[in-house]
Structure formats: structure tokens, C-alpha cells
Amino acid sequence: MNRSYTVSQLAEAVGGKLRGNGSATIRGVGDVSEAGPDQATWVSRGKYVERIAASRAGAVLVPEGFGETPMPAILCPNIERGVAALFAAFAPPVSRPAPGIHATAVIHPRARIGENPSIGPHVVIDEGVTMGDRCVIHAGVFIGRDTSVGEGCEFWPNVVIRDGCRIGSRVTIHSCSVIGADGFGYYFDQGRHNKIPHIGGVVIEDDVEIGACTCVDRSKFGATVIGQGTKIDNQVQVAHNVRIGRHGILVGQSGIAGSSRLGDSCVLGGRAVVLDNVAVGDRVTLAASAIADKDIPPGLVLSGNPAQEHRDELRERAHLRRLPKLIEQLKDLTARVESLETSAHHRP
């Protein structure tokens, strides 16, 4: 479905204030360098400001107080919220299962499903599952025995939730993620690796979103916990007995090893790793590919392997870049010293 708005209508839709002529028609969204006259764009960072002068966009979203623009501007009190509303205004409808329960879904007689569900084809819901109202369960989802699911959740195709997990309300889990698989635990005896049973579960609190192909392992005992409002990207590993605080961000391919703890509002960059039994304080940021091998106090920004304060890491990198030049200087000084020593040794 194609959507179009006048610039005035678009300003109202994104909660901004129009500056300039609002009569032009906008039919889509584009990058500031590529948008055409019937597209809206946005500028939220200083490095893109220079590109506005050459842009052909029909309208631009900018922060309040932004300078003059060659096209009509929509001044947004919160530019990120405004851009999200811009995308939502042009987003195509999302394909979801029809209201009700598909004929091919297999739901155990002792499962309890809330009101107004949308349950797609080939879904399996096992014995003892409880599910709140208005949940959307896409094709091929499996929900294991005695799992509880809150209201307004959405599980995309082929999500697997194993037995005994607790999922809060308004939780979104994207395709092919696995919640509650066994943790990775073995002991070596009699010449072989022997499995340690993992008898705990997983607790995912309200308003969590988990990306595609992510794994959150069940605990050996107690629970692996994902705190309220935390957002987890694709291909992330959360091991057994990990506890993640509220409103964290875990970027793709990051990993948290067993029994580690993350405080509230922590950020893990892409491929960042927290090793086992490490405690990370509130508001800590680990840069991409950083490896945390020891406890981290609150509020720090760290990078490198092993992770250290980012300023120290940058200083070390700067020194490393100077090494080739320093080595050449050292060779030259060594040659000079040897020359001087030889001259002194042969002096009459």
C-alpha cells in the first residue's frame, strides 16, 4: 500500500513544527544525499549538515533550533522520536497470523490461552502453558511445558521456548531464537565429557526484545534473567545463570559467559564478550570486540582485550602505531653507539 502525506500532515504525524511551505506531497523516505523531491529526509548529526545544501529532498526533519534549510523543515523536539515516527508513517503493513487459532496449531488441552490471540500454522503449545491476552504467535513456534507468557507478546516464526520459562508482557522474540536450551556445562570423568543437568529456567521481564538467532540458556539452578526493557540484537549468546539488568543493549554477536552479572543500562558493542563469573556495574559500556575478564565498577567505558578504560586503550594504540618509527630510531642509535665504541677501542 502506497502512502502519501503533505508536508503539513507529516509534521503533525511526527509531532514536529513545520517551517516553510507545507503543501508538497511526500511519498517516501530517503537518505539526505539521495532523497528526491517527493521524499522526506532527516539530519540528526553535525557531519550531515553540509549535505543539506545539495539535497533534493522535499522536506527534512531536524532538531529544534536548527538553522535554515533549502527545503521545508519539520522541527522536532526529539529528533530520534521524530525519525522513528517518520519511518512508521511509511511502514508497510506487517504480515501477521489472522486473529484466532489456526487449524494446524497443536495446543495441549491443559494449556490456557488468553483472549484475542493470533496463533499461526503449525504452532505447538505444550501442557501447562499459560498465555496472556493479545499474543501473536507466528508459524512454527514451539512453547514448552509449564512456560508462562504475559500479555501482548509477539514470537516470530520458528522461535523455540523450552520448558519452565517465564516470559513477561510485551516481549518480542524474533525468528529462530531459542530460549531455555541447556547451558553449556560438562565435567570430565573416566575419559569422557559428562553432561551436567541444567534444572533451572529463564526469566524474561516486561518489554524485552530479542533479535533473530539469539540463544538464552537455562540456568543450572535458579534462573537466567533478562531485565525489563533490555534489547538484544541478532546472534547473541547469553549463557546459564547470567543476570542482565534493566534497559541494557547487547549488540550482534556479543556474548556473556556463565554466571556473569550485568547491571542496569549496560551496553555491549558488537562481538564484545563478558567472561564467566564477572560482575559488571551499572551504565558500563564495552566497545566492539572488548573482552571483560574481571569485575568492572559502574559508569566506565572500556575497550580492548583485556578490557581497560577506553582512554588508556587509545593511548596504547597510539604508542603501538609509533613502534615502527621508534624501532628504526633504535637501530640507528645502536649503530652509532657501536661505531663510537669501536672508535674508542682503536684509539692510539
Q: Which residues are catalytic?
A: 240
Residue 250 CA, chain-centre distance (Å), reads 4
The burial class, CB within 10 Å (0-12 / 13-18 / 19+), for 340 is exposed
**CA separation for the pair 161, 178 (Å, rounded):** 6
Following CA atoms 242, 245, 250, 256 in sequence, which dihedral angle do they give, to the nearest 10 degrees? -20
Q: Is the dihedral of CA 276, 278, 281, 287 positive or negative?
A: negative
What are the residues whose beta carbons fall under 8 Å from the beta carbon of 191, sequence distance 6 or more? none
Kindly tell me the number of DSSP H helices and DSSP E strands found in the chain.
3, 40
The b-or-e profile of 139-178 (16+ CB within 10 A means b, else e) is: bbbbbbeebbbbbbbbbbbbbbbbbbbbbbbbbbbbbbbb
Angle of the 7-14 helix axis to the 79-90 helix axis, nearest 10: 120
